[in-house]
Amino acid sequence: MKKSIIKIIAVCLCAAVAFGGIVLNASSVNSDDNTEEESKQVSVDKENKNDSNFKDETVYILANADGSTDKIIVSDWIKNKLKNKSLGDITELADIENIKGSETYTDGSGNTKVWDAEGNDIYYQGNIDKELPVDLKISYKLDGVDISPSELVGKSGKVTIRFDYTNKQFEYKEIEGKKEKIYVPYAMLTGVVLDNDIFRNVDITNGKLINDGSRTVIVGAAFPGLQENLGISKEDFEIPDYVEITADAENFELGMTATLATNELFNEIDTNRLDKIDDLKDSIKGLTDGMNKLLDGSSELYDGLSELLDKSSNLTDGIGQLANGAGSLKNGTAELDEGALSLQSGAEQLSNGLNTLSSENDKLNGGAKQVFETLLSTANNQLSAAGLEVPTLTIDNYSDVLDNVIASLDKNEVYKKALDTVKAAVEEKRDYITEQVTAAVRQEVEKQVTAAVKNKVMQKVTQAVRENVRVQVLSAINMDAASYEAAVSAGLIDKATQQNIENEIEKQMKSDTVLQTIEAKTDEQMDSEEIKATIEENVAQQMKTDNVKEQITSNTEAQVQKAVSDNMASNEVQSQLTAASEGVKSVASLKSSLDSYNTFYMGLQTYTDGVSQAADGANELKNGTNELRNGTKQLKDGSGELYDGILTLKDSTPALIDGIKQLENGSGQLKDGLVEYNEEGIQKLSDIVNKNVDSIVERLRATKEVSLNYKSFAGIDDNSDGQVKFIYRTDSLEK
């Protein structure tokens, strides 16, 4: 493990666990009277917390590849613990949408809303344009030179990607008599997945990486503002506030990155017992003394195993001599006395050696179990960082739990669950879709009916205007319509004159003036209440027809299916399917690693049991050889069985020597690891606690107060409790 990772773990241990849990639990052993009283107070605090409604807020930041904000979407869940019929809320969000129900709200003064909850929880989301409490900046370098994200795509070389986090959310608190900025303590967790076909030699500062062969999964952690909050000098201990990735890239491309910002870690610190400073110092001293003893013990274990390995040749020689003596004993009693003496000497050496080896069994098994539990703890952290909520892995249950996780991540199952969820959500909006489709169909029907009515009105207006034009044309030749018709009937007007009159009428009917008159009178008729009533009646009749109803039903179903298809094709659902496929590979690889160690662990237990049994047998053999000198008849009767047993023991000697070598290597690694842990963790922790413990306790208390005060980004009702987390998602960089 790299030093940067050790620092992250040590910082989390100091800031979130040591002061809030481990040390205080140790001090409670000396303060039994206070423990019961404090437990009662914790219960009261929890009951009081449950007396108010709770607002769980998630802020999604859609960011550009350089970390700059493009859009902010806020999702709120108001937990109606009291089952109120109406819920008061405060929010700065715009375009609010109820995403999981039909409850509505009423606007109040300012940003207040009153939800008609009817005892239900409320789920809604909206948009907001507001400065974020933590700025994310992502910078890129190619071969040590700054480069923009877009320019980097397709390039090859040594790439550096750095995530910088700037905490801007703080309160002023009085620390040791002075006003100081105390920042909301955010833990920033950034995840990136790199394609191994593009990236090689990947390294990370302030994070951890897992390589499954085809992809490298990276998780980085930072705590912007925590260094200032705790007042710890970077020379003593540096708390990370950035994550940096380096790799050799070929034809650079990068998928989206995701960053979680949360202060929930620090909300759980128990500050009620931080006043026991002396107990804390005593505990640190005890921890240091215990670590020194552990180091001494690991050195003695390594020296003892080395000595045992050096003398393994003596053990081999002794077993060989024992086998020769047993053979001589079996072949005849003439050399009985000399053989018995050799057997007695060899049995004593065997007994002493096996007893020494057996005495280390508990330490060996305990160390192997501790390693196994550490691997399981790391696996738990990896699963949690990947967003998988599973029971805590143990030696007994890890196989079943991981099998269940692999089954739940099956792509077909994830697709089916996503499809069922999308269909249910769309079905909840079917009435709304039907209303929209009906309105659209009605608009089209109204358009068609209006056009038909207008055509009829225009025909009537045109006929009336034509009669008027005809009168005007005839008046120009000093005739009215009646006299003209009479003259035509009497044959007084020839065909040519009649045609000229009709041509003049048609000419005037096509003139702009007449056409405008027809249009104006038609529009005037269309605006009349009578015509509007006619149109409305015709539209209503059309809407009742089977044809229109069938069209509404067909269009509604088409819109429902389109909504389901669009949602299933969305980035969110497709990301779930992709994540499920990748998750199966990662979890399967993790289980394979744990299975391999489990095989070693079970084999080690079998081996140590065998050593214990061999030691017991060697002790019995030793006692038997002492009696051998006094009972040659018994030796003669049992010499055949003894010879066969010693041959079996001799054949097992090479495996025993190999086991001793493995023990020596393992104890050496344990010794080196304990030295590094003592130097990087225990000693630095002891130095910081002894030098700054009073200030750290006061600053840690202020940090938790500031963390608890920050409950919402978009707004929260004064009578509600809440928590908020931020999820940054950056654009991918692709060709």
Q: Where are the domains of the chain?
A: 311-408+574-651, 430-568
- What's the CA angle centered on 543, arms 540 and 545, to 5 degrees? 115
Question: Do residues 8 and 206 lie in contact, with contact meaning Cβ atoms separated by under 8 Å?
Answer: yes
Angle at 710 between CA 718 and CA 4, to 5 degrees: 165
Closest-CA residue to 263 (of 730, 732, 725, 728):
725
Distance CA 654, CA 615 (A): 17
The pLDDT tens digits of the residues spanning 571-602 come to 877 776 676 666 666 776 776 777 777 878 78
Closest by Cα among 163, 181, 182 to 222: 163
Most confident stretch, 63-77, 356-370, 616-630, 649-663: 63-77
* Mean pLDDT across 447-460: 89
CB atoms under 10 Å from CB of 198, counted, come to 16
Axis crossing angle, helix 529-543 with helix 430-475, rounded to the nearest 10: 140
pLDDT in the model for residue 631: 64
**Which pLDDT belongs to residue 292?**
67
pLDDT score recorded for residue 353 = 72
Residue 180 CB burial class (10 angstroms; 0-12, 13-18, ≥19)? middle
pLDDT, the chain, mean: 79
pLDDT band at 449 (very low <50, low <70, confident <90, very high): confident
Ranking 111-120, 125-134, 556-565 by mean pLDDT, the lowest is 556-565
Q: How far is CA 608 from CA 313, 359, 656, in A?
A: 20, 10, 11
Residue 567 pLDDT grade (very low, low, confident, very high; cuts 50, 70, 90): confident
More reliable by pLDDT, 122 or 599: 122
Mean pLDDT confidence for 557-576? 80
Give, as one character, the DSSP assignment of residue 67: S
Model pLDDT, residue 124: 96
pLDDT of amino acid 121: 95
Range 189-218 average pLDDT: 94
- Three-state SS string over 530-551 comes to HHHHHHHHHHHHHHCCHHHHHH
* Angstrom distance (rounded) from CA 343 to CA 622: 9
pTM of the model: 0.45
71-83: average pLDDT: 94
Q: How much is the pLDDT for 445?
A: 86
86-90 sheet: strands from edge to edge: 86-90, 112-116, 105-107
Distance, CA of 544 to CA of 238 (rounded, Å): 76
pLDDT for 136 equals 97
Q: Is the pLDDT of residue 21 over 50?
A: no
Token pair listed for 311 = 């003398």
pLDDT for residue 674 is more than 60: no
The single-letter DSSP state of residue 251 is: S
Q: For residues 452 and 132, which has the higher predicted lDDT (pLDDT)?
A: 132
For residue 546, pLDDT beyond 60: yes
CA distances from 5 to 9, 145, 236, 384 (A): 6, 27, 17, 17
Q: What is the mean pLDDT of residues 691-707?
A: 84
pLDDT tens figures, 304-360? 556 556 656 665 676 677 667 667 767 766 676 676 677 677 667 777 876 887 787
Residue % of the chain over a pLDDT of 90: 32
pLDDT digits (tens, 9 = 90+) for 238-293: 899 999 999 999 999 999 999 999 998 888 777 666 655 555 555 455 546 655 65
Query: Can you give the pLDDT at residue 304?
Result: 56
DSSP 80-121: -TT--SEEEEE---EEEEESSS---EEE-STTEEEEE-TT--
Query: Helices (DSSP H) in 629-733: which residue ranges?
Result: 632-651, 653-677, 683-709
Res. 473 pLDDT band, cuts 50 70 90: confident
Mean local confidence (pLDDT), 528-536: 89
The three-point CA angle 230-232-233 to 5° equals 150
Compute CA distances 546 → 422, 432, 449, 556, whole Å.
Answer: 31, 21, 17, 15
